[in-house]
Structures are given as structure tokens and as C-alpha cells.
Structure 1
């Protein structure tokens, strides 16, 4: 099943369509009326924008029909763009982007904080405990619902939507400046990979990792964890 286009993607499509109309209109006047590039571009812009300025030159019959066609395409593109822009604002994408930008700027200022990979059932309990101790915390999760459902009004709590197994994601979460790192992802294989990556990025980091199988604790320690914890025990 094809993915539904997001409002932001539709904005890009609208801009691409507008660019296509400008290019098509400019080339059209150059071919139909034999005008220069600057004259054709100017005529295209005033036609599409409907500002009502005087034509560059008198149009012949072919030029008039081309202008009518350009107006129809131009107005259709503008209406399509306005519709997508409205959807972009109303559906909250703009607010999400601005909120994400502010969050990333705040994370960039952090130092000696904790980074938590995974904000599921176990991760939430760990997050509450870290915040209770007064440490700033950046929670990383690829599930937006997990981040949204976490109930905390603490000014020390920050979220980052992304894949914790990705090195760039950990860097954006400030792991190079962090005091500690807790990996609470669902599977031992994910935690093992993240611990190995975190240790390589920051050799001085205090790392605690979740394990589902007790026998995997030694592997987690060898990968770079200072401590491996099995919630089931």
C-alpha cells in the first residue's frame, strides 16, 4: 500500500509545480512570441500572479491563447499550494517542526546529562528515576507515541525522535557530552549494538544496559556496558 503524502511533502510538490509553470510559461513565450528570456519570464510572473501590469508587447492570437492556458494552470497551482499550506499549518506539522528545532537547540546546550535509548514500559520507569535524582535527561525513541505519552513537566526532560541504533541520532542527543547512558530497547541485540556504538563515541560514559536474558549480561559487559540489568530478575 502506498504511503499517504504528508502536508510537508505536498508543500514541496506545490513548489515544484509552481517552478514548472514558471519554466513552461517562460519557454512558451520565447517560442510562441519570440521574446527574450527576461521579457518572457516577466510576462509569465505577472500573468501567474495576476498583478495586472501591462503586457511586455502586444500579443498575437497564439499568444493570447497561450496566456489563457497559463492563467488556468497558474491559478490552479496557486490554489493547490494555498490548500497544502493551510493543511500544513492546521494539521500541526509546522508546530512540530518548530518544537523539534527548539528541542534540538536546548539539547545542544546540555552537558553531564543522561541519554536514554527506548521509552517503552521499562524506559519510562528509568526516566522517572533519573529525573527524580535531578539529572537532565534526553530520551530517544523511534516511536513518536512513546515520547508523547510520557507524562513529565520537568524542565530537565528532553525528547528526540529517532533510531537510537543510528550513530548520528546518539550524537544529536548529546552523547559526546553526556554523563551517563541507559539502553532500554526491547531486544538484547538492539541494546548490544547501541552499547557498542555509545562506548565508541564516548569512552568515559557510564553505561547501563537492559537485558532480557540473564546469560546475555556478560556479552553486554564485553560490548562496553558498565552494568547489565535484567528487569525480569
Structure 2
């Protein structure tokens, strides 16, 4: 399980860590282009890494981290009806059902907007959403119609960094984001901005009412023990002095 790091997610109202995204870090480093391509194209590798990330998140959420949540990415492309998904996980976590109930909504299942499709996939995702929180990831880059999203019981939308980058100086994307925030808040869903890198972007996102932010402005993905230390801090999170000097 040492192949996973956690990137902090910040509550924009308090500027404190409220959660984190579990990211695959083979050998402790970001995946190479070849490894990333294999993760996206190889169904066996993708499913295995997802199952391992699920177990990693469950175990981390059992630790005292101030009530933060953790998110795991799930590809609808390979999950199908979900039959057999939990079988290997139950071998790694003997009392899986009890642990899942204990963790509950603090485990987020992230699915990409472009991956939302199919009756079987939607049924399995909604089954997960009965116990955990569902988040639509990378919103703004997918080609799936909104009708696919409306089939799912999601509680969070994560806006892709391609929408967020330079948002403070782009009036068209600002209007788009206002529309999205209003719609999400009207149905009780939070909005998280991905790829936040500048204080100017952050200031605009706060004015707009974005709930959470994630990006190099605060932190790259961290080893679990560093994330835990950051999550347990009493004070607000400070900005990184040079966010462009680090890698995700």
C-alpha cells in the first residue's frame, strides 16, 4: 500500500484540510507516461490499482485524522456491473462490511464525467453511493451528456483544472462556473476546484462560493504520514512559496 500518496483538499471557508484524493504513486513517484497509459488502457491493472486504493483509503480513514474524508478514483470503463469488485478487497479486509459502514460518507468515490455511462455501471455506482459519497471528477472535459450525471446520486462535483486555470481573468469561464455552482448548490452538492495554483484564482473562487480547492497552491500529493500530520494541524494551511516548482 506504499504506492499511494494523498493530495490534500482544502475547505475554502476555513482554509483547513477537509479531505484528500488518493493517487497512485508507483515507487513513491508520479507514474511515468507509460505507466499512466497502462493504467488507463489495461483493465486488469486498472481494477487492481482501484481495489488497492480502496483498501488503502479504508485503512487510512480508520486512523485519527480530524474527521477528514478520502477520495478514490473509479473507472466506469472497467467496473461494469461491479460483480466481483469487492471479492479481492474482502480478502485484504476481513471485516469489510463493518469497516465500510464505520467509514461511511467519509469515503468518496470519484468517477469522471466522461466515464458516466451505461445502465450496469450506473446501478453499481449508485449502490456504492448508498453508503459512501459520490463525486463527479474532472467536470468540464468530458463528452458525456448531463443526462448521465442525472442518473447518479452525486454529492460533489470536482471542476477540472483546465476550467480553473486562469479563471480570475476569463469572463466566459467565470460565467460557466457561476452557473455550475448555482446548480450544484441548489441540489445540495458541493463544488471542488482542481488545479488551483495562484492566490488570485483562489480569491475569485472564494467570491463565487466554491466549497473546496485542491492544487499546488497548497500542496502536492503527500506520503500518508505527511498528509496525516497536515490534516491534524490546528492552524490554517499556508500557501507554498513556489507552487510551480513542484510536481503532482
- TM-score (structure 1 length as normaliser): 0.28
| More helix by percentage | 1
Bigger radius of gyration, 1 or 2? 1
Report 1 or 2 for greater relative contact order, CA contacts < 8 Å, sequence distance ≥ 6: 2
The two structures have a TM-score, normalised by structure 2, of: 0.27
More strand by percentage: 2
